[in-house]
Amino acid sequence: MDKWEYATAPLLIHNTKQILDMWGEDGWELVTVLPGQNSEQLVAYFKRRKEQ
């Protein structure tokens, strides 16, 4: 059975693509993006398969 690890990261609206590309390069898959504490911040939720 696969095991997963999870992470969250703040996303700045003016720099979203660069941040997501960086996480993707490290093997993280974007699960969802939700609003943050203010209108200029989003929170990205990621997962990746745990190495066994």
Whether 4 contacts 49, CB under 8 Å = yes
Interval 1-26: pLDDT, tens: 899 999 999 988 888 899 999 999 99
Asked if residue 52 has pLDDT above 80, the reply is: no
Cα separation, 33 vs 13, in Å, equals 12
pTM for the complete prediction? 0.84
**Best CA proximity match to 15, nearest among 36, 46, 32, 40:** 40
Domain that holds residue 33: 4-49
Q: What is the pLDDT of residue 43?
A: 94
Give the count of domains, the chain.
Answer: 1
Interval 24-42: pLDDT, tens: 999 999 999 999 888 778 9
